[in-house]
Amino acid sequence: MKRWVGWAAVVGAALVLAGCGRGVDGRKIAHPPEGEWLTYGRTYDEQRFSPLKQIDKATVGKLGLAWWAEFDTDRGQEATPLVHDGVLYATTAWSKVYAFDAKSGRRLWAYDPKVPGEKGFDACCDVVNRGVAIWRGRVYVGTLDGRLIALDARTGKVAWDVQTTDRERPYTITGAPRVIKGKVLIGNGGAEYGVRGYVSAYDADTGKLAWRFYTTPNATGAPDGAASDEVLKAKAAATWSDGVWKESGGGGTVWDAITYDAVNDLVLIGVGNGNPWNHKLRSGGKGDNLFLSSIVALKPETGAYVWHYQTTPGESWDYTATQHIMLADLKIAGQDRRVVMQAPKNGFFYVLDARTGQLISAEKYVPLDWATHVDLKTGRPVEAPFARYTNGGLSTQMASALGGHNWQPMAFSPRTGLVYIPAQLNRGAYADPDRFKYTPGAWNTGVIRAAQGPHAHPRFKPGAGEATGELIAWDPVTQTRRWSVAFPHQASSGVLATDGGLVFHASQNHLVAYDAATGAPLWRYDEGARAIAPPATYVIDGEQYVAQMVGTGGAGGRDAPRTMGRLLVFKLGGTAKAPAYPAAVVPPPLDLKLATASKGDADKGGEIFANSCAMCHGGAAGYHPDLARSPAILDPEGFRAIVQDGALKDRGMASFARFFSVADTEDLRAFLLWQAAHPPTGPARPAAAHAQ
Ligand code: CA
């Protein structure tokens, strides 16, 4: 009897220890309980496939809202909710972390890392965050200002907080950490501005740096004392020539994909674009520039290099290979192969051998014209003659810098054998600038960017803007599409596949459940706003839930109105209702009679707008305020207070005093007043809301 009580105590203690993330370790992430979602891509293979099937083709019609939560930010929401032991962990824009009772939606705790608002300036593509990692009683988050923070999973209290980047440089973190063999792996972003990319591994218990792998050589030629030293010297250095990379760091940030192959014991990192984008400026037009736009395999304990595959040698178009890296076991030509799959921005779907990195196949998953095909012998794309826009050339090519596929995660169903790609069709214009000077801290792409109307750069004619989306069911064995659904916009949501024979994906405010085999839509729910984040699914007390963060933003997702971020959670028979969002307000045209006339040079202002403002405020992007309809441009003092003095820095509008002068600011105002007097035809953009 005594012995039995003793056993009960041991079992009881083990159950307590299993609570709140204590039970999550590598074995569990590789083979999770079917009702849980323990890492960004659900398991280390990152297939985003759930074995749950209570919600299936027959029952999905009864799916309804179980609970919802609204957050305090209207910026892009990209997080995948993780679920363990009845608790759902999600992050929002500005790197905030929330824990909810996954059944009732009751908020258990919230954590705000207090990222300074002006840090938003350093984020090319919004102040987003893609989620947490869970490991042995802790939750880990990377913050926009470059910190990696360990929180107690039960309370949200900080266990440790380390700076992973140089705060003086425009590094950001938007990606989710991954925990592999007791080490927390995290990368960073900033390659549009000018940084040197790397991935770091920290001890999960202590926060001590274990190893770091740089993706580009050190311009000084000196070793970094990092895991990358040997391979950068032996393989990468000779692929770089003289150019701006020596000042800028060369780019190559690891801002999203970090995948662990537990079978081959390899970490696979996805490496981003070069800085500047323009290969001619970056490296004199010479060399492959390793390891830009590559998948690199490393040993998890040491960060030692094992293999790499470069998708875009001599990258010159922002064709990152940071996109989702997925592992699967496929039968190819009668052989069982363990493969790595990726649909990077350059528009080719790659299947590689997971152990060696050897290219098995590569085909276009969207229409492209920058390259005709990938040569299977050399593993290199065969470029169209116009693609390199040097020496006065111009290329309006598919795909654009937003890519045939961006960060939105794909899903793979081992049942159908299909990869579901949230793809996009877009055309980008690239031209070589007449002059270029690297400006620390600013955008340094080395590519001409357009202003508008008579103020447009004379050589720059934007291409036809095919900016549409597709959900593609892709057969990775035959490299052909099985079915697809088209949307009138790009940047739709990430994807979830389930053993209920379903694929969940959102576009145009609607979360839709498709038949995974045929693409037939079986269920549709109006979320009230556009979602870009991938849905996840889990089970509590025998009921299956589907959860998705709602709220657009991010890269290319800024053509819809800003709405407060929400988390929507569904189950069969759910009857909850989230209140409707307030209607988007379209600001009226300015009464220019109220404007103080400007003596500034509107042509010069147009150039400043194109170089420094258009990324957030220009073109079709209706996400940040349309300055031509902003009362802020009516008077010079108020405008200067915002642009030069940083009056709105807490909302992400940092001071531009380090980039242009008071006189330049008045030139910019002259251009914006000209724009206000020459409005484009077509519908006006809704105003951005006034939350952060
Ligand atoms: Ca980029």
Backbone angles phi, psi at 479, to 5 degrees: 55, 50
Give the range of the structural domain holding residue 74, as residue numbers without chain letter. 26-572
In a domain, 219, yes or no: yes
State the CATH number of the domain containing residue 472: 2.140.10.10
Q: Which two tokens stand for residue 528?
A: 């009230």
For 256-262, what is the mean pLDDT? Answer: 98
* Domain shared by 480 and 600, yes or no: no
Domain end position, chosen among 572, 606, 624: 572
Same domain? 558 vs 432: yes
With 90 as the cut, is the pLDDT of residue 688 above it? no
Distance from the CA of 493 to the center of ligand 1, in angstroms?
19
> Same structural domain for residues 244 and 298?
yes
pLDDT at 104 over 90: yes
The CA–CA distances, whole Å, from 554 to 128, 249, 283, 320 equal: 7, 24, 29, 16
Query: Does 555 share its domain with 603?
Result: no
pLDDT tens digits, 120-145: 999 999 999 999 999 999 999 999 99
Ligand 1 centre distance from Cα of residue 518 (Å): 34
Q: How far is the CA of 191 from the centre of ligand 1 (A)?
A: 6
- Residue 375, strand partner residues: 380
Are residues 479 and 596 located together in one domain of the fold? no
CA 193 to centroid of ligand 1, rounded, Å? 9
Which long-range contacts link 579-585 to residues 24+ away (Cβ below 8 Å)?
Answer: 580/528, 581/528, 581/529, 584/686, 584/687, 585/686, 585/687
Of the pLDDT bands very low, low, confident and very high (cuts 50, 70, 90), residue 244 is very high
Tokens of 642: 């915002």
Does 597 share its domain with 507?
Answer: no
**Could you tell me which of 107, 96, 132, 104 has the C-alpha nearest to residue 21?**
132
Residue 321 CA to ligand 1 center (angstroms) comes to 10
Confirm whether 690 is domain-assigned.
Answer: no
State the distance from the centre of ligand 1 to the C-alpha of 257, rounded, in angstroms: 14
Quickly state the pLDDT bin for 21 (edges 50, 70, 90).
low
Whole-prediction pTM value? 0.94
- So what's the pLDDT on residue 396? 87
**Predicted pLDDT at 685:** 53
Residue 21 lies in a domain: no
Q: Which of 51-65, 104-118, 582-596 bottoms out in mean pLDDT, i.e. has the lowest?
A: 582-596
CB atoms within 10 A of CB 637: 7
What pLDDT does residue 195 have? 98
Res 278 pLDDT > 60 = yes
- CATH of residue 630: 1.10.760.10
Q: Work out the average pLDDT over 655-684.
A: 89
Q: Are 144 and 58 found together in one domain?
A: yes
**Edge-to-edge strand ranges of the sheet holding 158-163:** 133-135, 138-142, 147-152, 158-163
> How many of the other CB atoms lie within 10 Å of CB of 136?
17
Q: Give CA–CA dist 188/165, Å, rounded.
A: 8
How many whole angstroms from 186 Cα to the centroid of ligand 1?
17
Provide the pLDDT for residue 67. 98
Report pLDDT digits (tens) over 364-385. Answer: 999 999 999 999 999 999 999 9
pLDDT at 618: 72
HSE, side-chain direction, 13 A CA sphere, residue 667: 17
* Mean per-residue pLDDT, 664-674: 96
Tell me, in angstroms, the distance from the centre of ligand 1 to residue 57's CA.
Answer: 39
Asked if residue 689 belongs to a domain, the reply is no
pLDDT of residue 614: 83
How many domains is the chain partitioned into structurally?
Answer: 2
Residue 19 belongs to a domain: no
345 CA to middle of ligand 1, Å?
10
Identify the pLDDT of residue 615: 79
User: For this structure, is 318 an active site residue?
Assistant: yes
Residue 507 confidence (pLDDT) above 80: yes
What is the structure's pLDDT at 242? 98
Query: Is 646 found in the same domain as 509?
Result: no
> What is the percent of the chain with per-residue pLDDT over 90, rounded to a whole number?
83
> Does residue 621 share a domain with residue 564?
no
SS3 category, 521:
strand
For 536, the token pair is 């996840």
Q: Is it the case that residue 14 has pLDDT exceeding 60?
A: no
Same domain, 618 and 497: no
The answer to whether 649 touches 585, Cβ cutoff 8 Å, is no
Residue 635 lies in a domain: yes
pLDDT score of 683 more than 60: no
| C-alpha to C-alpha distance for 273 and 289, rounded to whole angstroms | 10
Instruction: For residue 158, tell me if it sits in a domain.
Output: yes
Q: What is the mean pLDDT of the chain?
A: 92
Pick the catalytic residue: 318, 432, 626, 667? 318
In this structure, the answer to whether residues 166 and 251 fall within a common structural domain is yes
Query: Residue 466: which pLDDT band, with cuts at 50, 70 and 90?
Result: low
- Domain edge (last residue) among 544, 572, 600: 572
Q: Which pLDDT does position 187 carry in this prediction?
A: 98
Asked if 276 and 193 count as a contact pair (C-beta separation under 8 A), the reply is: no
Peptide bond before 100: cis, by omega within 30 degrees of 0? no
Whole-number Å distance, alpha carbon 118 to ligand 1 midpoint, is 20
Instruction: Tell me what pLDDT residue 6 has.
Output: 43
Q: Which of 572, 607, 639 is the last residue of a domain?
A: 572
In a domain, 370, yes or no: yes
**pLDDT interval class at 198 (50, 70, 90):** very high
* 522 and 651 assigned to the same domain: no
